[in-house]
Amino acid sequence: MTQHDDVREVIIIGGGPAGYTAALYSARAGLNPLVIEGVTWGGQLMITSDVENYPGYPDGVMGPTMMTDFRRQAERFGTEFVTDEVTKVDFSERPFRVWVEKDEYRAKSVIVATGASARWLGLESEQRLQGRGVSACATCDGAFFRDKPIVVIGGGDSAFEEALFLTRFGTKVTLVNRRSEFRASQIMVERAKAHEKLELLTPYTVEEILGDTSVTGVRVKHADTGETLDLEAAGFFVAIGHDPNTKLFVDQLDHDENGYLVTKPGSTATNIAGVFAVGDVQDHTYRQAITAAGSGCMGALDAERWLAEHEGPEHEG
Ligand code: NDP
């Protein structure tokens, strides 16, 4: 067990747009932040291709490039990083305590920015064939399916973005959605409909992913008639939304029925004074890099103000 002696002003848990923006602002405010950023730092943008809607990049930017820039900008003002996973937290008394395995860190304030993770369908075949044709990341794995048929599941912007990206590789891309209506924005749906390699198949659910050692096809079932259909596929991409990464916090911080942390309206404050939540971990509505970054900024300002108001030994413990 290693207890780090110093009590930090602020620890930020999570290294995505929200966490790095919180770090940038708190570093510039002289709070010497520590970001525990996870092993695969960068968050969901690390598995995104072109980001076309982040203001300031008129020609678009690759997600990993943007996150490397975010991180560098936070680092420039003195942010320190631990590239590992938080394994436990204790917010029951101050200073708050955060563990990375046997390393214990302490801080007067904590900003939770752990984001959300891709959801899976939960089929046995999906788990068995993961890395063998089943993927949740078109940017990472798309190139493996050059000149092969691909199936994408989902009807939101993520599914359409992945399907459009995958047309660069596949002979044909079939987007399968469980409803005939799509959640995705009109522009994405229109782009997909106009694409000669892309087919939209609705309303179908996935029965099974076919293949013994690698994906050979997908059995889908019509949501109304129950009729089944076998689609040929070498790649199977799941893009059905996300769940918040809140397992570490749900016994200590208020959350909604889906596990998203609840913050006070117009603020990033949680139910525990001195603990703040920013980005996708507390936002299931907007979930954009720009809104996550904005929320990270709010968290840093809230933490800074809170520290200024609560500084002093009489408030410790
Ligand atoms: P969404 O929640 O928007 O969409 C999820 C999709 O998956 C829905 O079509 C949903 O169907 C379907 N789905 C959910 N669970 C299952 C299941 N178990 N089986 C089958 N289908 C399922 O998630 P996204 O990740 O697409 O998008 C999240 C947010 O990020 C959105 O706000 C989106 O606009 C944004 N985004 C923006 C992008 C951009 O602007 N470039 C790119 C990517 C995302 P149903 O509708 O029936 O619930």
Contact 20, 71 (CB under 8 A): yes
CA of 147 to the centre of ligand 1 (A): 27
Residue 297 among the catalytic residues: no
Q: What is the pLDDT, as a whole number, of residue 130?
A: 87
pLDDT band at 49 (very low <50, low <70, confident <90, very high): low
Query: Relative to the CA of 181, which ligand 1 atom is closest?
Result: 46
Average pLDDT over every residue of 153-163: 95
Q: Is 214 in the pocket of ligand 1 (CB under 6 A)?
A: no
- In this predicted model, what pLDDT tens digit does every residue of 212-241 receive, in sequence order? 999 999 999 999 999 999 999 999 999 998
CA of 242 to the centre of ligand 1 (A): 8
Which position among 50, 84, 137, 254 bears the catalytic label?
Answer: 137
Instruction: Measure CA 180 to chain center.
Output: 26
Encoding tokens for residue 189? 């749906």
Q: Is 178 in the pocket of ligand 1 (CB under 6 A)?
A: yes
More confident of the two residues 32 and 4 = 32
Can 2-117+242-310 and 120-238 be said to share one CATH topology?
yes
- In this predicted model, what pLDDT tens digit does every residue of 159-202 receive, in sequence order? 999 999 999 999 999 999 999 999 999 999 999 999 999 999 99
Q: Mean pLDDT over all residues of the chain?
A: 94
Q: How many residues does the chain have?
A: 317
Q: What is the pLDDT, as a whole number, of residue 160?
A: 97
Average pLDDT over every residue of 47-68: 88
* Residue nearest atom 36 of ligand 1, based on CA coordinates: 157
pLDDT at residue 149 tops 80: yes
pLDDT at residue 72 tops 50: yes
Q: Is 183 in the pocket of ligand 1 (CB under 6 A)?
A: yes
pLDDT band at 316 (very low <50, low <70, confident <90, very high): very low
Q: How far apart are the C-alpha atoms of 15 and 37, rounded to whole Å?
A: 4
Give the residue extent of every domain in the chain.
2-117+242-310, 120-238
Task: Pick from 162, 183, 222 the residue to mutate for probing ligand 1's pocket: most ligand atoms within 8 Å of its CB.
Answer: 183
**H-state helical runs in the chain:** 17-28, 63-76, 124-128, 138-141, 157-166, 186-194, 289-310
Residue 283 among the catalytic residues: no
Positive or negative, the CA dihedral 31, 37, 41, 44 is negative
- Model-level pTM? 0.78
DSSP 93: S
Q: What is the pLDDT, as a whole number, of residue 3?
A: 79
For the beta carbon of residue 37, count every other beta carbon within 10 angstroms: 27
Q: Is 280 in the pocket of ligand 1 (CB under 6 A)?
A: no
Could you tell me what percent of the chain has a pLDDT over 70?
Answer: 97
- In this predicted model, what pLDDT tens digit does every residue of 251-289 receive, in sequence order? 999 999 999 999 999 999 999 999 999 999 999 888 889
Residue range 2-117+242-310, CATH number: 3.50.50.60
Residue range 120-238, CATH number: 3.50.50.60
Could you tell me what percent of the chain has a pLDDT over 90?
Answer: 86
pLDDT band at 313 (very low <50, low <70, confident <90, very high): very low
Query: Relative to the CA of 205, which ligand 1 atom is closest?
Result: 20
Q: Which helix (H) or strand (E) holds 236?
A: strand 235-238
Which position among 6, 69, 90, 140 bears the catalytic label?
Answer: 140
pLDDT at residue 25 tops 70: yes
pLDDT band at 312 (very low <50, low <70, confident <90, very high): low
Task: Pick from 48, 157, 165 the residue to mutate for probing ligand 1's pocket: most ligand atoms within 8 Å of its CB.
Answer: 157
